[in-house]
Chain A
Amino acid sequence: MPRPFLLALALLLPLLSRAGDAPSTSPDPPRTFRRLLIRPGAADAQVQEVLVAGGVTTIIRTPWGLHRRRPASLARTRPAPPFELLVGRGKVVVTPTRALVPGERFALVLRLEDDTVVPLALVGAARAAADGEVRLALDPNDSEELRVQLAAATSRAQGLEAQLRQALQEQDSEDFALAGLLAGGNVHLTALEKVRERQLVADEHARITVASYATASDRHGGRKVALVFTIANRGAAPMQVNIQDVSRRSTLALVPYAARAQPLRVAPGASGLLSVVLDGASPMPDEDPVTLELAIRRGGAQTQLALDVSEGDFASWWLF
C-alpha cells in the first residue's frame, strides 16, 4: 500500500500586508543587515519597523539601558505572538518561533531606563531581508549614528545587488526552466513522471490540487522532483498563490527550490498552475519532511497553507 501522500495543514492567519507578485525565488542562507532606526521625539512619530523572519535572530540595541521591571513587551494576542524575547543590558534579542508571512505585523514596546517608551513593529520579511542588528537612536543629529546609518545603507544596497544578481542567475537556471515547463502545462516535454495526486482545498470559492512528479531515473543529470499545484478560482475575487518558504520542518533550514506560476494572478472563473522544483537527491526522510508554505490570497483576505512532503511522496508506485 502506498504511504499517505501529503500531509496538509491549513492555518488561517489574518495578514496585514500583501504577498509578493513575482514568482518565488530560490533562497540562500539568510543575509541579515545592520540598520539604524531613528526615532524623533515627536509624539506622532511614525512607528519604526524591524524586519524579522523565522529562524533568524534579530538584535535591537538601545541607546542606553532598558527599564528594569518592564523592559520589553509584546502586544497580547491570541494565539500568543510567535517570538522569543531575551533582554540584556541595552539590547533585546528577538527570535521568531515559527516562519512568518511577509507583512505579518506584531507590536513590540520597549521601555528605557529613563521611562522613554519606544513603540516598534516587528514585521515578517523574507529571510534574506531580515534585520540582523538594529540600533535604535533617539537623536537624529548624532554624527556617530549617522555614520552607522550610512554604513548600514551601503550594506543593504550591496545585499540587494547580490539578490538581484542571484535572481538573474536563477532566471537562466535549469530548475527554473523546468518549473516554467510545468507551469505551462508541458510536463510531457520533461523527463518527469507523475507519482501522486491529492486534493488540498475544495470549497465554493476555490479548488487546489497538487500532483507530485519525479524523474524515473538519474540519467537526466540528477534526480529532480516537482510539485504542480492546479488552482481553480471559483470565487468572485482574483486569487493568487505564492510559495513563501521551503524549509526543513525540524530545523527551519531553507531548502533551495525553483518556482513558477502561470498566471501569477488567477481571475474569477479561471485556473492556473504553480510549479515547484526541488533537488530530489537530497534525503527527505519521513521523520524530517520538507515543509512548503503557501500564501493564498483571495481578494483582500490571505490564508496560509503548510504542506509537508517527504520521499514517500515521490516514490513511484505506479507509472503509466
Chain B
Amino acid sequence: MVLLLAGCPVGVAVRPDGSPAEEPCPAGAREAMAELGLWPRASAQVDLDVTQLREGALLVYDGPLESETVVPMGELSAKTHLFGRVWTGGPRVVIRYYSAQLPDGRKLPFCGVANWNGPGLPKAPGRPGSAALSQTFASVDVVSQFR
C-alpha cells in the first residue's frame, strides 16, 4: 500500500536479459531530495531487508522490499526506511528505491539504487523470481534517473 501511494511502479518494462528498463525518478523526488542536501552520487549503506537484519546470506524475491539506511546520507538520517522494488531476472539483482520514510515519520519520494562493486548486486542462481545474495547489506546511491 505504501509503495502504491509513493508511486512505486508495478509495470516497468523488462529488458531481454531480465533487468528493468529505464524509467524516470518519481515525481517530486529530485526536489524532495535536494531539500535534504541529496544529489546524485550521494551514497550510504543500507540493510537490505528490515525483516532480516542478521549477518549472512539473504534471499530476495521479485517485488517490493523495505530497506533501512545504516548511516546518514546528507541530511537523511540513519534508520530511514527506503521502499523499493526488486528484479532478480537479470545478470545482477536490481533494486530501485522510490520513497523514503524518515525516523520522524515524514515520507518523501526518493530516487536511488542498490549497488555493490558496480551497478546492482551480485547474485547466486536461484529459483525463478528469487535470488540469493551473499550479504544482507549494500550501498544505496542517489541517481537522477533509473537506467
Contact B117 A188 (CB under 8 A): no
Contact B70 A271 (CB under 8 A): yes
Chain B residue numbers with a CB within 8 Å of A194 are 43, 139, 141
Distance to closest chain A CB from B15 (angstroms): 17
Contacts of B71 in A (CB 8 A): 185, 230, 271-273
Chain A CB within 10 Å, residue with most, of B42, B54, B55, B142: B55
Is A114 an interface position by the 8 A CB rule? no
Verify A188–B38 contact, CB threshold 8 A: yes
Q: How far, in angstroms, from A271 to B116 measured CA to CA in the complex? A: 19
A207 in contact with B137 (CB, 8 Å)? yes
With both beta carbons as reference points, the residue of chain B lying nearest to A272 in the complex is identified as B71
- The yes or no answer to B48 lying at the interface (CB within 8 A) is no
A234 to B70 Cα, complex, angstroms: 11
Chain B residues with CB under 8 A of A271 = 45, 70-71, 78
Which A residues are in CB contact (< 8 Å) with B142? 188
- B70 near A230: Cβ-Cβ < 8 Å: yes
* Distance from B143 Cβ to chain A, minimum over Cβ atoms (Å): 8
Q: Which partner residue on chain B sits nearest A203 by CB separation?
A: B55
A248 to B71, CA, bound (A): 31
Contacting pair B55 A188 (CB below 8 A): no
Chain B contacts for A187, CB-based, 8 A: 41-43
Other A-B pairs, 19, CB within 8 Å; known A196-B117, A230-B70:
A5-B117, A184-B72, A185-B71, A185-B73, A187-B43, A188-B38, A188-B39, A188-B43, A188-B142, A189-B39, A202-B55, A202-B135, A203-B55, A209-B137, A234-B55, A271-B45, A271-B78, A273-B71, A318-B117
List of 7 A-B pairs having minimum Cβ-Cβ separation, nearest first: A188-B42, A188-B41, A185-B72, A202-B55, A271-B70, A230-B45, A271-B71
